[in-house]
Amino acid sequence: MASHWLLAVAFFSYLAASILYVAGFIGQRRLALAAAGAAGGQATGVGPGGTPAAGEFYWKAPGWAFALATLGTLAHAGGILARWQGAGHWPTANLYEFVGFMSFCSMVAFQVLYRLYRFPVLGALATPVTVALLAYSYVFPREVEPLIPQLRSHWLTLHVSFAALGEGFFAVAFAAALLYLLRTREAEKESRLAGLALESIFWFASTVLTFVVLAYLLRYVLGQEWAIVLDRGVARYHLPPIIGPEGSTPGQAGSLFGLPLPLVAVPGWIKGKNANTFLFAVALGTPVYYLLRRLLCRGLPFREALARLAQGLDADLLDEISYRAVAIGYPVFTLGALVFAMFWAKVAWGRYWFWDPKETWAFISWLIYSAYLHLRLTRGWEGRVSAWMAVIGFGAILFTLVGVNLLIVGLHSYAGGDL
């Protein structure tokens, strides 16, 4: 299918762009540090920037990266259109399509903000976020699914597309805020808690990476299966079921090294299987985090290593870009995630608001960004506090997107004769 090819082109363009961005950015920093070191006559601990040719490469890399990112965005747009054509409905109907669409939106948001500010470093963060999202989308089944009657509505199309576009801007705001936090970090003044909080972002990223790889392996490589028979059906696990679904009894699925499986059963509102996978991702994510730290940062905490790179960036500009991204994303998100969602709920179910968990989490994310804007505008909270709120807001967005779907049992279930 054409869309798969185009998406592959997009993926590899983004990947190449993010490598070029990061390499160029790091190279430039090293050159600058080396120059400063040479000028000041002090040892910086950073090797020489390399040959003049390499120096030229570092300065040119962001330009090529931007071209590649643009190519990727165009291919991605083509892929979405092709899938639309092929499936006969706007391709945001399942998690594979939606997460892929969101990665596209984060690229669109990046393009818009790049037009406004011409700040290449943003690419070094926005493209990896996009690559991660696109890679994550491949975890989900890729088949085109026919639409159940509830999903056949133009309001739904508008709702999902605008919500995702707003979220794309929030993703860029997050990227800029994170960079700001690294740039303005003062190692001596950092409290233990603040350090931990900042580092936990990287720990979380490692965990997500682990989760994605794990999910790939489960889907395509590992064949092992544990079955737990329940009254209402069979739950099939591809990982040892430490956390069982509601209604399972400990030890029901045998044991692993003397540990009864499952060890505990979750209450009914949590999806046991996903909670189990999560547990594994967290357990394995921590060693992966330390491994990456060793490989990428010579064993330093990520924040330490990256903060060194971020020195010399224009902090005020980062702050403004983050704010601007929120200021564009917020109205778009409001329109998509709240207003169009209400219109759709009204025609589909007869009521514009249900307080179902997904809806409520969208509302919560929106409240967080509202608080962000108010504190910034009326109390002059700029800088680090503001950046932290942009990070927290994006955390809520991610939870709304995947956490609610994966962990909390949805209330609009389509089982039985009821719609």
Paired with 227 in beta bridges are 236
Q: Which amino acid, one-letter code, is at 268?
A: G
Restricting to residues 318-337, name those near ligand HEM by CB under 6 A: 327
d(CA 171, CA 71): 20
Q: Which amino acid, one-letter code, is at 264?
A: V
Measuring CA to CA, how many Å separate 92 from each of 39, 110, 156, 298, 329? 55, 21, 9, 41, 19
Residue with Cβ nearer ligand HEM (18 or 386): 386
CB 364 → ligand HEM: shortest distance, Å? 11
Residue with Cβ nearer another protein (133 or 164): 164
Residue with Cβ nearer ligand HEM (236 or 374): 374
Of residues 258, 284, 262, the one with CA closest to residue 273: 262
Of residues 194, 198, 83, the one with CA closest to residue 145: 83
Task: Decide if 121 contacts 313 (C-beta within 8 A).
Answer: yes
Q: Which listed residue (25, 180, 302, 330) binds another protein by CB under 8 A?
A: 330
**What is the phi-psi region of residue 48: left when phi exceeds 0, alpha when psi lies from -120 to 50, beta otherwise?**
beta
Measuring CA to CA, how many Å separate 223 from each of 41, 226, 237, 317? 60, 10, 10, 50
d(CA 214, CA 224): 13
CB 165 → another protein: shortest distance, Å? 14
Query: For residue 402, how many other CB atoms are within 10 A of its CB?
Result: 19
Q: What is the DSSP string of 320-332?
A: HHHHHHHHHHHHH
Task: Decide if 318 contacts 371 (C-beta within 8 A).
Answer: no
**With CB under 8 A as the contact rule, which of the stretches 35-43, 53-61, 226-234, 352-360 interacts with another protein?**
352-360
Does 184 sit near another protein (CB under 8 A)? no
Does 115 sit near another protein (CB under 8 A)? no
Does 417 sit near another protein (CB under 8 A)? yes
Residue with Cβ nearer ligand HEM (202 or 366): 366
**With CB under 6 A as the contact rule, which of the stretches 41-49, 225-233, 286-294, 367-375 interacts with ligand HEM?**
367-375
CB 366 → ligand HEM: shortest distance, Å? 7
Q: Which listed residue (2, 8, 67, 148) binds another protein by CB under 8 A?
A: 148
**With CB under 8 A as the contact rule, which of the stretches 3-11, 100-108, 145-153, 287-295 interacts with another protein?**
145-153
Residues in the chain: 419
d(CA 389, CA 326): 11
Does 380 sit near ligand HEM (CB under 6 A)? no
CB 380 → ligand HEM: shortest distance, Å? 11
Residue with Cβ nearer another protein (143 or 188): 143
Residue with Cβ nearer another protein (166 or 241): 166
Number of residues in contact with ligand HEM under rule CB under 6 A: 6
d(CA 260, CA 253): 8
Residue with Cβ nearer another protein (19 or 342): 342
Does 370 sit near ligand HEM (CB under 6 A)? yes
Q: Which listed residue (157, 288, 324, 401) binds another protein by CB under 8 A?
A: 324
d(CA 31, CA 58): 9
**With CB under 8 A as the contact rule, which of the stretches 13-21, 63-71, 272-280, 347-355 interacts with another protein?**
347-355
Does 378 sit near ligand HEM (CB under 6 A)? yes
Phi, psi of 213 (to 5 degrees): -60, -45
Of residues 126, 295, 99, the one with CA closest to residue 206: 295
Binding site for ligand HEM (CB under 6 A): 327, 370, 373-374, 377-378
Binding site for another protein (CB under 8 A): 116-117, 145-146, 148-150, 152-153, 267-269, 314, 316-317, 320, 324, 327-328, 330-331, 334-335, 338-339, 342-343, 346-357, 360-361, 363-364, 367-368, 370-371, 374-375, 377-380, 404, 408, 411, 413-414, 417-419
